[in-house]
Amino acid sequence: MNPQKTDARRHHDPAVRGFASDNYAGAHPEVLAALALANGGHQVAYGEDEYTENLQTIVRSHFGGGAEAFPVFNGTGANVVALQAVTDRWGAVICAESAHINVDEGGAPERMGGLKLLTVPTPDGKLTPELIDRQAYGWDDEHRAMPQVVSITQSTELGTLYTPEEIRAICDHAHAHGMKVHLDGSRISNAAASLDVPMRTFTNAVGVDILSLGGTKNGALFGEAVVVLNRDAVSHMKHLRKLSMQLASKMRFVSVQLEALLAKDLWLRNARHANGMAQRLAEGVRAVHGVEILHPVQANAVFARLPHDVSLRLQKRYRFYFWDEAAGDVRWMCAFDTTEDDVDGFVAAVKEEMAQQ
């Protein structure tokens, strides 16, 4: 008896949009086309393929001739591998209390990476040399995990941006204490687009040692990369990636997506569009009485405060998340495929629900 034939079917309505996360968006058509281009035939596995080799050239065009990219599956994997690469077993990482590595990775840096996070409360998601000093001490105290790395996020979890000068000050301060600097760049494209500078301007040019390069939130299907900027600060990256279960056997399909984003300007087009939609959204809801914008809208995120019952009603119409439910704080994210009609429809829904108060 022949096995029953099954056909792939669409299980969702592609017209439905939300503002919960840029991860909700699909893959950009140019990325899907690149995946199809890389398919077929045989390529050497585990990163010895032509696509991964070419990716190195592209990454160096963005981050300088000494940069080396190590593709991985996802952002948490990129962060854990990168932080392991710049810490000893007794090492600790100073980060903002709101950092993704602290609040959104299920304890992976500590449980899987075997390192300690030393957190600092920040009003806007950004560290400063003065804030770093709250945790930068006790290097000779065997009773305390040794601060070895400062990790910053660009753009931050609150949608704010570091200027290149601010990152340079952090790097200079960290290096003066013998610490290295990691940059979580899951939304690095949005930051570069908003600052209107090349990515190198606020990474290797100002002293960042290693970064997590995002792709998924900016149009990739899956895949990120650890980019080593200071080779003297890092050792055994290949072994750490494998040990951390982030070595893709068919790596060409990760690398070709990053190639599609970075080889020309797709990364920038996508990020500029997402940022622009966030600005449109902020301008629209700012005019609604009773809605408060909480942080400067500098990338593709809008943080707002509005009555709790209004948010609950809105969530029945559009997906989005509470950031601090007790305070009534919410986060609205825009993506590369967010349209003006999406934004305008959501703003109209906010007005309608607020009018019922």
Per residue in 13-65, pLDDT (tens digit) is: 998 999 999 999 999 999 999 999 999 999 999 999 999 999 999 999 999 99
Length of the chain equals 357
Whether a cis peptide bond, with omega within 30° of 0, leads into 21 is: no
Going by DSSP bridges, is the β-strand pair 292-293/224-228 parallel, antiparallel, or unpaired? unpaired
The Cα 165–Cα 216 span in angstroms is 28
| Mean pLDDT across 68-82 | 98
pLDDT digits (tens, 9 = 90+) for 236-254: 999 999 999 999 999 999 9
- Is the pLDDT assigned to residue 132 strictly greater than 60? yes
Q: How far apart are CA 194 and CA 191, in angstroms?
A: 5
For residues 82 and 313, give the distance between their C-alpha atoms in angstroms, rounded to a whole number: 41
For residue 177, is pLDDT > 90?
yes
Instruction: Give the three-class secondary structure for 317.
Output: coil
Q: What distance in Å separates the CA atoms of residue 220 and residue 223, rounded to the nearest whole number?
A: 7
- CB–CB of 280/343 below 8 Å? yes
pLDDT band of 235, cuts 50, 70, 90: confident
| Three-state secondary structure call for residue 146 | strand
- Distance from C-alpha of 354 to C-alpha of 179, rounded to nearest angstrom: 49
Q: Is the pLDDT score of 3 beyond 90? A: no
Q: What's the pLDDT at 333? A: 98
Q: At what angle do helices 266-286 and 188-195 cross, to 10 degrees?
A: 80
pLDDT of residue 357: 78
Task: Name the β-bridge partners of 93.
Answer: 117, 149
Residue range 29-262, CATH number: 3.40.640.10
Phi, then psi, of 26 in degrees rounded to 5: -80, -165
Count other C-beta atoms under 10 Å from residue 348's C-beta. 11
Q: Tens digits of per-residue pLDDT, 283-306?
A: 999 999 999 999 999 999 999 999
Specify the amino acid at residue 129: P
pLDDT at 1 exceeding the cut of 60:
no
Using a 10 angstrom Cβ sphere, with 0-12 exposed, 13-18 middle and 19 or more buried, the burial of residue 341 is exposed
Cα→Cα distances 120→80, 175, 201, Å: 19, 19, 26
What is residue 5's predicted lDDT score, i.e. its pLDDT? 64
Distance (Å, whole) CA 192 – CA 203: 10
Question: Is 80 exceeded by the pLDDT of residue 2?
Answer: no
β-strand 146-153 against 91-96: which pairing, if any? Answer: parallel
- Burial (CB count <10 Å: 0-12, 13-18, 19+), residue 128: middle
Q: Convert the pLDDT of each residue in 309-346 to its tens digit.
A: 999 999 999 999 999 999 999 999 999 999 999 999 99
pLDDT of residue 269: 98
Can you tell me the distance from the alpha carbon of 161 to that of 298, in angstroms, rounded to the nearest whole number?
6
Q: What average pLDDT does this structure show over 84-100? A: 97
Domain 266-355 has CATH 3.30.1490.190: no
Looking at residue 6, its pLDDT comes to 67
DSSP string, 61-130: HHH-TT-EEEEESSHHHHHHHHHHHT--TTEEEEEETT-HHHHSSTTHHHHTT--EEEEE--SSS---HH
For 282-290, which contacts have Cβ atoms below 8 Å and span 24 or more sequence positions? 284/343, 284/344, 284/346, 284/347, 284/350, 285/347, 285/350, 288/347, 288/350, 288/351, 288/354, 289/354, 290/354, 290/357
d(CA 272, CA 196): 9
CB of 145 closer than 8 Å to CB of 91? yes
What residue has token string 């105290």? 141
pLDDT digits (tens, 9 = 90+) for 179-228: 999 999 999 999 999 999 999 999 999 999 999 999 999 999 999 999 99
Domain extent listing, the chain: 29-262, 266-355
Q: Are 225 and 51 in contact (CB under 8 A)?
A: no
Q: Mean pLDDT over all residues of the chain?
A: 96
